[in-house]
Chain A
Amino acid sequence: MLRVSVLKKRDGFTLQAQLEAPTPGVVALFGRSGCGKTTLVNLICGLLRPDEGRIQLDDTVLADTRAGISVPVERRRIGYVFQDARLFPHFSVLGNLRYGLKRSGKEANDRSGHASFDAVVALLGLSDLLDRRPHQLSGGERQRVGLGRALLSRPRLLLLDEPLASLDVARRQEVLPYLEALRDHLEIPMVYVSHQFEEVLRLATHVVLMEAGRVVTHGSLGEVSLRPELRAIVGQDAVGSVLDAVVTRVEPARGMADVQLGKGSLYVSLVGVPVGARVRVQLLARDIILATQKPRGLSVRNELRGVITKVSADGADGVLVEVDIGGATLLSHITQEAVRALHLGAGVEVWALAKAVSTHGHVFRG
């Protein structure tokens, strides 16, 4: 468990954050640029000192202003992947990777659960890059080396500060699978800073939502996906419930699959995943249609039966309806006019409809 409770004032900006995050797992610090995410990770790793507060990782107190404790950065054993990679220009890739490894100490090397040098190199696909110099690498390669360098210092926690932000969209898609592999194959807890919800969706198990120097809300990704505070950040069109599901049937030729979620089943576009795999599905509220009777003669492939649990105003003319489909909650964005005409309200039984093509699954083994 990572427990943080800190106050930091800096250049007219105040960060006041409390959070508890389970370890291992991937905690996403999500919020707009300038909301204090980087300040928070710098406090966790010790590059900044809190004015007041306490930071504890598992059973180790890293900082406690009242007790006068502040473990120096170099002894915290917290890996840091920087937005700009910060590879050492006077070392080769191999030299960069070895830098942290050499300084990780015997005690750290004896601990189980850490991947070997060869395993990290293989996992991040670095074997062809070892002799190169940092200036000979592409942006994506640089981030992978930075990731490997941090991992090889045998950290107890890995901080990733927007590692994809300096990359273009294509490069991002190139690096994301490596981050997913890391999450799935290594037992290292991670704090992932991002202002891109797609990255959070693909990587995080736990989300901490930040706004103007404060933690607005935190919880599992599924929980946070339903919160109105998230809506304020990602915007109405990106609102949707995130659900954990299990693959029950695959159609590799069509790139589609059936997944079980709660008591219902969904037909979604999903590639390269075997039956039984755990996946994550995001159903955007704007894509969900509600019907008060079982519809007939529609092209829509997904019909989930459920009960309305909440109806709340959203925007000028919009309404956000929460539907419990038996162990999972869907969000549907519809008009006030539709709510009136169909007499929708808490307790009403409905069918939630979603087009298969607009429903994507993300593989998630976490």
Chain B
Amino acid sequence: MTTGYHPLVKRLLDGELSLAELPPELRAEGEEALRLVGAADRAPVVLSPALDERVMAAVRRHGASRTRRAWRWLTAPRDVEVRLRLRPVVWAGALAVAAGVAVLLVARHPAPVEPSAAVSRTRIPDSVLVRFVLYAPAARHVTVAGTFNQWDQNAAPLVRAGTGGVWTTTLALPVGQHQYAFVVDGARWVVDPAAPAIDDGFGRRNSMVAVTPRGAHTL
């Protein structure tokens, strides 16, 4: 079993020392170590020209099936219960519980209602009003970005409500599940502590909200 490299030799390999800076008794070991990393194959790798077309063929198939699924979902008939007494606003979480608490508010988007019927069939609303609220007293600028606006950091700014550090905006979101996060001062991504967050698969967390024709709720 070969012993490991001396820590100074490892610093040589890391580029933190030069061979001349090693003590003389470590130079042979340093030269050997440089031969090792010098054997790394840095030649460029070029993939088959056919890869582009294979990817685009898959993309076209997936894009088409996604459109078909969305169309089927949108056009499928559904029974929707509409109650005569509409609650104007449903709070989805508590506000001002602690510093840094963000709260998602949900407002029901008015749907066509037949006033004489307690339950009626109606067209599913295309979108539902969802209010986003963030308590961030030190922030200078807050936006909300998510799957509903292609994660555009500038598309949905929140406005400061009074002087208490509460920022808010209301967006009309399409029915479906959405991931989102707040962007504070253009740089810091903040998940909504009032809503469950999921791993986006790349080491970051996104908050989740489900928007249904009857309102919205955090998942």
- Same complex for A and B? Answer no
- A-binding residues in B (CB < 8 A): none
